[in-house]
Chain A
Amino acid sequence: MTEYFDPAKYEGWVCADCNIPLQLSKVDVSYLGNSFPVDLLKCPNCGLVLIPEELALGKMAEVEKALEDK
């Protein structure tokens, strides 16, 4: 399990374009000029990244809110 989501929940998910299973990889998350590496599921062929809902609505939303000063 990564810190932000449970990869087991996404087992068997494949890239819609390449039909290849997604793999856990280091991805650079960038927002408003700030970027940092995070382990996310990614297509090893085309690089498509899956951002799990729990991350998008959790810490990622919190960072956006803080950076945008909302």
Chain B
Amino acid sequence: MQIPLYEHPFWQSIPEQVMRPGGLTVTEQALACCDIQAGMRVLDVGCGAGATLRHVTAKYGVAGVGVDVSAELVARARQTSPQLSWMRSRSETLSFANESMDVVLSECTLSIFEMDKALSECARVLKRGGYFVVSDLYARNENGVEALRQLPRGTCIGAAISQKQILAKIEQCGLRVEVWQDVSEKLKEFSICTLTTAAQVDPFDLHIAAAKAKLGYYFLVARKN
């Protein structure tokens, strides 16, 4: 049986086990655009083994909740930081009350799930004026998106869409995008080739598709209207 990409052992070999390009640097860049106050409730959707939530709760004194689809990663997060709340859940079906979160983080996870449903759920649980912080892959060349779709399933790369499409989807959910920042240079530091090995995707095919789509990385900060 093939291991899901997010549970592949290679993630444990990278610093702080932050499973995305840019790691905590990009998270910090995005949070610097928000007014985070101690005591706020922060939900990390796709929290993995919990590295980001541990960092954010320690630095800002916020109350953290992490959800992830992987039972193994949630167990690891819980074992490392039992004082925080961890839950196994998909992004499309969050078990939280409406308008119960001040901040929702979704880093490198939107393109893994059904984006429309996941966005709608994140918007639902956010309080009015709350911050939605996203970082993810995107296609800087909309005409090259089709090349990404031809890649075998197994990575989030094949689901990347354009900035225009992302912004439209987010605004449809009643969120207002305040900051969009391209951080594509983080992709090179991240070494996509390691990802291709883990996901068993042909590296030549991946580089061809990524180049055609001008695959990039971004973060954005949106607020609920």
Residues of A bordering B, CB below 8 Å: 3-4, 29, 33-38, 59-60, 62-63, 66-67, 69
Contact = CB atoms under 8 A, between A and B. Distances in A.
Interface stretch (B3-11, B120-128, B165-173, B204-212): B204-212
Contacts of B196: 36
A65 to B, nearest CB: 8
Contact of B211 (A4, A60, A66): A66
A33 B192 CA distance: 12
B193 A63 contact: no
B-side interface size class = 10 to 19
A3 B212 CA distance: 22
A66 B193 contact: no
A69 B211 contact: yes
Interface of B: 188, 192-193, 196-197, 202-205, 207-209, 211-212
Contacts of A4: 204
User: From DSSP, what is the main secondary structure of chain A's interface residues?
Assistant: mixed
Most chain A CB within 10 A, of B202, B211, B212, is at B211
B211 A36 contact: no
